Amino acid sequence: MDESLMIKAQELLDSGLGDTGRLEHIMDYIKKDKTLFKSDLKYLENMHDFLLEKIQKLEHESKSLKPNHVTLSEPRPSSNRKPLLADEDLDRILDEQEKRKQKNLVPRTESLRAENNKQKTSKLKQLFRKNPNK
């Protein structure tokens, strides 16, 4: 049994890379000391090389993303914190938004009522018209 091939196949299975069925088949052949096909050996080597490249790439990216040493100033007590906007400003902004919403809703409801009235009368008119397509 070739231990290095078994380790490579297990690493690929653990990482989730590759075809699990094929990797399990390769592991069974290794455990039973059967000779592997060249295509299986090549597949195992290529996938393991791909896994190693991916690991190296991730390690390189994680090293480059590490923040530089930053010195933090003393934490301020929460009583010194001030809101970005005063309460009056927030109230004014919220009131303006509410007024805009109401302005936008009023014409819509009036137009909906008018449409409903037209539909009601138009249905009655359609019943008694000589030409119902109008």
User: What confidence tens digit (pLDDT) does each residue in 35-91 have?
Assistant: 999 999 999 999 999 999 999 998 888 877 766 555 555 555 555 666 666 777 778
Question: Do 17 and 61 fall within a single domain?
Answer: yes
Give domain status of residue 133, yes or no: no
List CB contacts of 58: < 8 A, sequence separation 6 or more.
Answer: none
Question: Do 61 and 97 fall within a single domain?
Answer: no
Question: Do 59 and 7 fall within a single domain?
Answer: yes
Whole-angstrom Cα distance, residue 20 to residue 126? 70
Query: 11 is in which domain, residue-wise?
Result: 3-65
Question: Do 20 and 57 fall within a single domain?
Answer: yes
Give domain status of residue 39, yes or no: yes
Predicted TM-score (pTM) above 0.85:
no
Domains held by the chain: number: 2
Question: Do 61 and 91 fall within a single domain?
Answer: no
Whether 46 contacts 64, CB under 8 Å: no
Q: Of 72, 69, 53, nearest to 61 (Cα)? A: 53
